[in-house]
Amino acid sequence: MKQPRVYQLIVALTLAAAIILTEGQVKAATNNQNTVAATDSSSLTTAPQQNGSSATASLTSSSSNPIHVYSAATKDVATAQAQTNQAKQAVQQAANQLTSAETIKNNAQTKLNDLKNQQVNLIDGSQITLTSKQKNEITNDWSVLNEGPASGTSFVDNQTNDKNTVIDTNNLTQAQAANLSAYAASLINNLRGQLNYSALNNQQTATSDYLNTSLIVTSGAINFAKQVAANYNSDHWNGYAKGNHDVPAIQKAAAINGLDQGGNYYEDMESFSNSFTTKMTVYAAKQYLYNAIYDMLFNDASESYAHAHSLLGLDITAAEGISAEYFAVSFDQYGNIHLELIKPDYVIDQTKFTANFDTTPLTTNQSQISIAQNALDVANKNYANALTKYNSAKQQLEDAQNALTTAQSKHNKNGQYYEDGHWYLYQNNVKQTGFQYIANQHKTVYYNNNGQMLYGQQHLNGHWYLFDTVTGSMKTGFQYIANQHKTVYYNNNGQMLYGQQYLNGHWYLFDTVIGSMKTGFQYIANQHKTVYYNNNGQMLYGQQYLNGHWYLFDTVIGSMKTGFQYIANQHKTVYYNNNGQMLYGQQYLNGHWYLFDTVTGSMKTGFQYIANQHKTVYYNNNGQMLYGFQKIKGKTYRFNTQTGARI
């Protein structure tokens, strides 16, 4: 309703002081927020120019820019401003909750990945790789297994002591049984993890889906497997000759442990030979297990792929309500290798099972993987909920900002205004452009040629900058660009840095084109050196244990060392190959034989006995093997001119 001019004057006089106070309150409320609308502009200054000069244009209240005395419509502005401030707070709270949920989700994913990487390490380099068809179509056509595995499948044992450690597989200690069971469980769990369960479940008509269940090695499972092997021995059961399982032997073990005795519900078995010997190295035992798993996967057509069903966990569906099976292996004296998989839903006498079957996991982390997967599922759900709330809060903020803009449109423009979905900065109704420092919000922002505030990554005047996607504030320091999966660094002027940079006491390396922070081994061409940056991007120095190998980096420039190196604080000489990795054992280098300690890598000198070659040799003070007649400490010795063996 239009009021008489006299009434307007009375209102103006009576509200002037209150309006001035309200204006100050609005500015205080919007500190550290993204809006200042129709307020005193003394806090707005031009940001320092990129060439280093400081051009400051203070907008101060003066006779040319008096404090405004608004009409009654000022109440609408104040109300809209308050609602906008509340909406901003809601957005900030939702953003904080979203960030927290994302951090929890990322940490859960990292933990799960770390546990799975630990699981892979248990197989000591061995790998059985399924083909694409086998991963995606096996339940539709099991004959795809007849094609054999994908490339990269091989038996490897990286444990150097395994070839020298002899065990009796018919009388395994608990530790030996746990070690071999963990090896086999990790091979099988790795195979199960390769399956594309989404594709397999889409192919089946059953109402219950397949699950990625895991094998967990426990003391109870080990004792069960040993009981089965002992029963085979008592029954003189040669599976190679008989061609099938000793079911009564399995049923006896099941009865002791309170498990269902209706048949062989537990065992996958491979029988190798009538002339099987139980004494072998750990290396040989692992190879037997590897070959058994391989054979029961890819040579199982005659058994209708029953072993493959069991090993791949495709005999279990979600309806059974289990996520893991207890597992262990055993060997008997007749060449039978037993893989025992005990499902929790086969317990029929809980009292006897609890008393005799210890379900505590012995090996690293399969139960932890299941827990970590559940935690990740919860974290993903919480993140989705937080994202929904954040988007809702953003929409409410946009509505409030539009209402504020409508209310502000009636007044002379100085300060920040939200119009048509963009933020603008006005000085005496003129839109400002370029870098601007908003003093009362402690941030530098950028307005394009149309006066609109920019967000996210921007290429300006030959440099890349990053502006907050909500507040528009210019970012500095380390920043992670999620959609490009890279960490970059912006200097104090907000400009992205490239190449080598010395920051906060550390050297970093950033890609010279995209600015992404480098990690791992990197070759610095113009300095002719290889260096290493850790996961935080910081250059490492001195001795470092990386990916299962020892390396040495210069303590000043970080360059990777190769060749003979003396480690003063350990009083030893070692040798690093061309890849920078410390070598061990006998090595033929530059026309000479050397011997390095198999644990510490220290170069040996003097008389040394080479056990696996049954010879004593002599290494001089330079570590080189000597040949022929040699005078050592006043005595003459003779060494074979070819092998160096003392004669």
Range in 35-44, 356-365, 429-438 the model is least confident about? 35-44
pLDDT in tens, 413-422: 788 999 999 9
Cα–Cα distance measured from residue 585 to residue 242, given in angstroms and rounded to the nearest whole number: 46
Q: 54: buried, middle or exposed (CB in 10 Å: 19+, 13-18, 0-12)?
A: exposed
Residue 447 in this model has a pLDDT that exceeds 50: yes
Cα–Cα distance measured from residue 195 to residue 309, given in angstroms and rounded to the nearest whole number: 12
Predicted local distance difference test score (pLDDT) of residue 591: 97
Cα–Cα distance measured from residue 438 to residue 431, given in angstroms and rounded to the nearest whole number: 15
Cα–Cα distance measured from residue 594 to residue 582, given in angstroms and rounded to the nearest whole number: 13
Predicted local distance difference test score (pLDDT) of residue 46: 35
Q: Which helix (H) or strand (E) holds 78?
A: helix 74-121
Predicted local distance difference test score (pLDDT) of residue 209: 82
Closest CA to 624 of 605, 601, 599, 596: 605
Predicted local distance difference test score (pLDDT) of residue 122: 57
Predicted local distance difference test score (pLDDT) of residue 286: 95
Residue 41 in this model has a pLDDT that exceeds 80: no
Residue 220 in this model has a pLDDT that exceeds 60: yes
Percent of the chain with pLDDT over 90: 70
CATH number of the domain located at residue range(s) 584-646 in this protein: 2.10.270.10
Closest CA to 390 of 82, 87, 84: 87
Residue 16 in this model has a pLDDT that exceeds 70: no
Range in 197-211, 233-247, 394-408 the model is least confident about? 197-211
Find out whether 230 and 224 touch, Cβ atoms under 8 Å: no
Predicted local distance difference test score (pLDDT) of residue 28: 35
Helices and strands, counts by H and E, the chain: 12, 32
Find out whether 370 and 193 touch, Cβ atoms under 8 Å: no
pLDDT band (50, 70, 90) for residue 406: confident
Range in 184-198, 285-299, 350-364, 403-417 the model is least confident about? 403-417
Residue 117 in this model has a pLDDT that exceeds 60: no
Q: How does strand 324-331 pair with strand 214-217?
A: parallel
Average pLDDT over residues 534-553: 97
User: What pTM did the predictor assign?
Assistant: 0.44
pLDDT in tens, 161-209: 999 999 999 999 999 999 999 999 999 999 999 999 888 888 766 556 8
pLDDT band (50, 70, 90) for residue 15: very low
Range in 23-32, 196-205, 454-463, 583-592 the model is least confident about? 23-32
Residue 263 in this model has a pLDDT that exceeds 80: yes
Highest mean pLDDT among 23-27, 107-111, 176-180, 315-319: 176-180
pLDDT band (50, 70, 90) for residue 411: low
Burial 69-102 (b: 16+ CB within 10 A, else e): ebeeebebbbebbbbbbebbebbbebbebbeebb
Tell me what the pLDDT averaged over the chain comes to: 85
Closest CA to 366 of 178, 223, 228: 178
Predicted local distance difference test score (pLDDT) of residue 109: 84
Residue 647 in this model has a pLDDT that exceeds 90: yes
Rounded to 5 degrees, what are φ and ψ at 464?
-90, 135
Predicted local distance difference test score (pLDDT) of residue 76: 77
Average pLDDT over residues 230-238: 95
Predicted local distance difference test score (pLDDT) of residue 621: 96
Predicted local distance difference test score (pLDDT) of residue 206: 55
Residue 492 in this model has a pLDDT that exceeds 90: yes
Residue 114 in this model has a pLDDT that exceeds 90: no
Predicted local distance difference test score (pLDDT) of residue 510: 98
Helix spans in 122-173 (H): 132-137
pLDDT in tens, 593-602: 999 999 999 9
Q: Can you tell me whether residue 463 is helix, strand or coil?
A: strand
Predicted local distance difference test score (pLDDT) of residue 14: 36
Average pLDDT over residues 363-392: 81
Percent of the chain with pLDDT over 70: 83
Predicted local distance difference test score (pLDDT) of residue 60: 29
